[in-house]
Structure 1
């Protein structure tokens, strides 16, 4: 196993606690991601129902969201396993291989989708958070983009939520500080509209702001 794939470890917990076990991180590329489609969909239903996504779709809808990654030979899924159980997943693919509705706002801002690698959402079960796995997800996706070559930026999309949103947790934390530490910055001129169902609301149209980071050639 190469050094970049060495499992993470945490000491000082009982053996039965998830934090005492190191998750095994595996990569799936292109159509191979389909093997894990159902497990990733189940994780989405578990994790993305939380703030700020509030996704309330069903299993079929959750699985369908993975289609662009399965259809792209240049996509990647970074998967974290506790034994046979999938406890974390993040995906990425060239923006050029995404839906037109996602590409169009970048094009309108004068950016070439062929030069941007999109880091889609990351999902991690609660017991495994705060252990650096989120950084691992970005490390592996950015490394994959470098290996493909031809990309000037990596990007992510963050859903916009007002401070007054009724479902905002009183002590909820967002990922803004984490993204900034990774070198990402928001581009307010690039906003993507995307619908998904929320609890007790049905389908809701959401606005997502693009965050970009220059992709250096070596690291």
Structure 2
């Protein structure tokens, strides 16, 4: 196992592999994403266009088994910026963590912690951010596809120093497994001081 760090367009040779990984991992609860590799490749290309985007890749040999992303908030979609603008928090002061995905057989080895450490260190090196932030989907406790052994990541995120900000919310649309169309899902943000 090793970690590879790439920025901006340097991720381009890895986009197809990352699109496959994301589509696979996001099918699980709580995302239940009925996605396509083409859409994921297009989404990742938007990150690649940001010269200060970050990709933390976990590799087993040459195979990408996990990845974590980050981008200055002004380079993220308006749907992620809007809650901060409404709350009077300048997007220019936020480094946004996109997603972390990791194949289930590689979990429990410290890679999730490493993903956070690498993104936080990068945000500090850039030197102009007050906050690191990410958002997570909110699913009801009684969701019919919630596994009986599902453990939310709230405690893990709290241990990393992130505070849940239920007042910072947005909606994001995607097609769930078993749905015919995209529907909007509620997302709420978590924040940690970047310095």
Displacement after TM superposition at 1:83 (Å)? 1.0
Specify which of 109, 113, 118 is matched with residue 87 of structure 2: 109
- Any stretches of 5+ residues in structure 1 without a counterpart? 1-22
Displacement after TM superposition at 1:63 (Å)? 1.4
2:153 aligned with 1:175: yes
Separation in 2 of the partners of 1:143 and 1:78?
12
What residue is the counterpart of 1:83 in the other structure?
A: 61
2:188 aligned with 1:209: yes
Specify which of 126, 130, 134 is matched with residue 108 of structure 2: 130
Displacement after TM superposition at 1:65 (Å)? 2.0
- Which TM-score applies when normalising by structure 1? 0.86
- Which TM-score applies when normalising by structure 2? 0.97
Separation in 2 of the partners of 1:196 and 1:162?
17
1:23-62 equivalent positions in 2, closer than 5 A: 23-62=1-40
How many residue pairs are counted as aligned between the two chains?
194
User: Would you say the 8 A contact 1:158–1:210 is kept in 2?
Assistant: yes
User: Would you say the 8 A contact 1:33–1:69 is kept in 2?
Assistant: no
- Any stretches of 5+ residues in structure 2 without a counterpart? none
Instruction: Give the aligned CA root-mean-square deviation in angstroms.
Output: 0.9
Separation in 2 of the partners of 1:198 and 1:55?
5
Superposition misfits of 4+ residues, deviation over 3 angstroms: none
What residue is the counterpart of 1:163 in the other structure?
A: 141
Whichever of the two has the greater Rg, that structure is 1
